[in-house]
Amino acid sequence: MTTPPLDPAKCERVPFTQHPGHDTMWSMARGADGHVYLGLCLEGSGGGVAQLYRYNVTARKLEHLLDMGEVTGEPADNGHAAQGKIHFSLCPVSDGTIYGATHCTTPPKGHKYWNPYGMWDDPFHSFRGAHIFHYDPRTGKAVDFGIIYPNEGLPYLLLDETRGRLYGITYPKAHFFRLNLACRDLVDYGRVSSWYPIAASFDTRGNLFLGDTNSRLLKYDVAQDRLVFFDSAPYSHPWNSSMRYSWLCNLDRADDGRIYGTHYMNDHVYRFDPEQETPVFEDLGPGLPDSPARQVRALVPDGHGHLYYVVMGNGNILVRYTIKTGEREVLGRLQVGGADFWSWLSVLDRDGNLYMMGPRNPMSLAIYRPKG
Amino acid sequence: MTAKRKTASPRKAARPVKSAPPVAPVTPVADAPQFRYFHDKVAPWVDRGTVYGFELREELSKPTIEHGESAICALATVTTGSVFGITSGKRGHAFYFHPAFGVVDLGVISEKPVVGGAIVHTRDDILVGGWHGETGGMFRHAAAREFGTGQEDFYSRKEPLVPVALPATGEGILAVAWNASDRRTYAVTTTKRLVSVGDDDTTARVDVELGLQQPAPALLCLSDGTLLGAVDEGELWQYRPDAAAIERLAVCAPCEKGKRYVAGVQSLLLSRSGTVYGGTSTDGFVFAYDAARRVLTNLGKPHRQSVIRCLVEGHDGLIYGIVQEPHGMAHLFLFDPERRAFEDLGVLNAFIPVQWAAHSLGAMCTGIHGELFLGEDDTIAHLFAYYPPIPKKRGP
């Protein structure tokens, strides 16, 4: 049975008309000003640079903020692999500013393919390295911190504002690091995974939880300043005994203090208590028990006892999960303006409206407003 | 003359003649050229032959070689086929690879940080290894019983690592070589001297001082029992065990003009032909050295990176090596002595039994069947087995 689409009266598609050729959006964050900041990426073709946008929730319109070619001093046609992505890296600060980082895999202009391993040290076609930047919406200006890791992209960046630190992951070498914002001193903790971890979440004390390519839970213990590799992993299908390509996805702490997440290779949702010395995963079962699916994505807690997530199976279905009861409410199939879509991640604004990567061609932002 | 009438053979006659069954037309994949393009022209992985990757842990046992102390810095093969190695990092371990158990931790060789090490097969199934770092040391290990396991041995055997006393406590080992002529294992130490230990001894002696220069982490024993090594600036030396001093050979490994003061030798290999091959730490040159004529020939560079980290000879007569400079991406390459040609084989990436691409490789050895073993020296390290392709031969 096909799930009916989301109520059209509650949905809006907002196209990126200034950059219609861009094809993905890997970073979304709600800023301290309440607006939604977006990293618009290009990875399917060569020579485009990432763009920082803001969706102004008051004016209900997209605002273009930064061109990463200009911020980094590496324009799209510089010959190297382009600064084409802002991955899971937008970090809002309480003063209203935003930290972020560029990321690789966008080919150089005129190229169709690019591989970070093969082009690692190529003097002409390599990725020169991701830039960390700091953007102030009040001035409209960005400070370029420069390249921290030559040749590496930064697919993940998190801010511990209390300690004035950024944590990050590199690609392709999958190193975990922290960067002190005051002195910009760098501590590298080495390689942590086959490929880079693609989800991370803080607990209330500033410990950071993330997972490797094989579902293994890692913790950066902030008090001891070291990484702990647990033998904990969430549910995996019995036939995936090696748990390869089984990243933890969409890790996010909900208002009950537990961290919730999804799985790269199955449709289960899980949670664990970060306060446990060795966290134990609790399997919450499939995103929709009656609708087996490939994956669940775009999980986000609403701060009021619910989770939103998208079950990606026969159509991509938006679900609201009640933490207390385990009840799953089907809200509808992801469709806006007649076009189906999917989204890896989502973010909520202060009014509880949900923002997702919308349909492409042209690339767009999809907004679901539960109250209409 | 009566013409014989040709008749069909019984076997032929028994076969009913059928028209060929209809064959469904093959639908070309629209994107096939695109995928071929990616495979042939973009993918950087080693695809000449087969690569397997193994975690540094024993099946059925809790892992004991922790992350951060698993970087493989030395490998050697014994005649049973087992591969032995040393890890570095926050601590050091000795281990062996057995096809039934995986990687077996023989124990911690140093509780203090280890930077590098060396291991060599001596006589029978006995190995001698050593390490350097915050401290140093040397050990001997008899491996025969570890391979001789029965079908109901579900866990590995672990024979002890027997300490070898060095002339100075904590002296670090940079390189080792076994000399069949006098049945001694020679080692270059961090204190810039050559020490040796007899096959039946547990105490090493000082053989000769190497001088003031920093020795290279490479040592060979030539077929006549002469030891060959290198010091700073890539200068080669040799030592005959009956001599009073080393002989500086006035032969230097190649480097680019103006870099002699930072030049060095990173790896040495004695091939079955008797030719010595070497790799440099600066500029990444591979060279050949004719010890009899004392002539060194620069063979060129396999890659743009600088450091030739290891060299081994395959059973196919090819010289294989790893080139990778600090913070670089390790590439496997080969040198064909017949064609005098290099070939970059790419980045090592395994899918079975583990999926893992190696960014940094610090050690190599040749297995008894011609497979190559490669040791990753990263925070989380793996042991890789590379099987070069088997040449197609015409059957009988």
Edge-to-edge order in the sheet of strand A51-56: A24-30, A36-41, A51-56, A61-67
pLDDT above 70 coverage of chain B, percent = 92
B350 touches chain A (CB under 8 A): no
Q: Min CA distance, B337 vs chain A (Å)?
A: 26
Sheet holding B71-77, edge to edge: B71-77, B83-88, B92-98, B102-110
pLDDT of residue B150: 67
Q: Average pLDDT, stretch B231-246?
A: 95
Residue burial B251-281, b: 16+ Cβ < 10 Å; e: rest? bbbbbeeebbeebbbbbbbbeeeebbbbbbb
Minimum CA–CA partner of A192 in chain B = B380
pLDDT value at B302 more than 50? yes
Closest residue of chain A to B348, computed from CA coordinates: A117
End-to-end Cα distance, chain A: 26
B170-188 confidence digits (pLDDT tens): 899 999 999 999 999 999 9
CATH superfamily of B44-387: YVTN repeat-like/Quinoprotein amine dehydrogenase (2.130.10.10)
Distance (Å, whole) CA A255 – CA B94: 48
Q: Do A194 and B304 touch (CB under 8 A)?
A: no
Distance from CA of A297 to the nearest CA of B (A): 24
Interface pTM, i.e. ipTM: 0.94
The nearest CA of chain B is from the CA of A58 a distance in Å of: 45
Q: Is B304 on the interface with A (CB under 8 A)?
A: yes
Provide the percentage of residues in chain A whose pLDDT is more than 90. Answer: 95
Mean pLDDT to the nearest integer, B43-62 = 96
Type of residue numbered B349: N
* Sign of the torsion angle spanned by Cα atoms B133, B134, B139, B141: negative
Residue B31 pLDDT: 75
Q: Least CA distance to B53: which residue of chain A?
A: A194
pLDDT at A47: 86
pLDDT tens digits, A169-217: 999 999 999 999 998 899 999 999 999 999 999 999 999 999 999 999 9
Contacts of B42 in chain A (CB under 8 A): 113-115, 118
User: What are B199-216's pLDDT values in tens digits?
Assistant: 999 999 999 999 888 999
Q: What are phi and psi of A72, to 5 degrees?
A: -90, -10
Judged by CB atoms closer than 8 Å, whether chains meet at A190 and B67 is answered as yes
- The verdict on B44 touching A (C-beta cutoff 8 Å) is yes
Residues B158 and B143: their CA atoms lie apart, in Å, by 8
Give the pLDDT band of residue B2 (cuts 50, 70, 90).
Answer: very low
Verify whether the Cβ–Cβ distance B379 to A115 is below 8 Å.
no
Mean residue pLDDT of chain B comes to 92
Selection from B155, B41, B136, B175 nearest residue B98 by Cα: B155
> With an 8 Å Cβ cutoff, is B257 touching chain A?
no
Encoded amino acid at A41, one letter: C
SS3 B293: coil
Task: State residue B170's pLDDT score.
Answer: 85
Chain B's closest residue to A171, CA to CA, is B359
Four-residue CA torsion sign, A122, A191, A107, A265: positive
Residues A252-263 pLDDT 10s: 999 999 999 999
Residue A287 has pLDDT above 80, yes or no: yes
Interface of A with B (CB under 8 A): 113-115, 117-118, 120-121, 123, 150, 172-173, 189-194, 213, 227, 229, 242, 244-245
Among B38, B44, B356, whose Cβ lies nearest the Cβ of A117?
B44
**Band of residue B144 on the pLDDT scale cut at 50, 70, 90:** confident
From the list A115, A150, A190, the residue facing B379 with the nearest CB is A190
B266 vs B14, residue with greater confidence: B266
What pLDDT is attached to residue B11? 45
Residue A242: list chain B partners with CB under 8 A.
Answer: 353-355
pLDDT tops 60 at residue B9: no
Confidence (pLDDT) at B149: 72
With CA atoms as reference, the chain B residue closest to A175 would be: B379
Pairwise CB contact (< 8 Å): A191 & B38: no
Residues of B in contact with A192 (CB under 8 A): 379-380
Indicate if the pLDDT at residue A1 is higher than 50. yes
The size of the A-B interface in CB pairs under 8 A is 55
What does each C-alpha distance from B165 to A240, B137, B198, B204 come to in angstroms? 49, 8, 12, 6
Closest-CA residue of B relative to A176 is: B379
- Look at residue B234 in the predicted model and tell me its pLDDT: 97
Q: Cα distance from B58 to chain A (closest Cα, Å)? A: 15
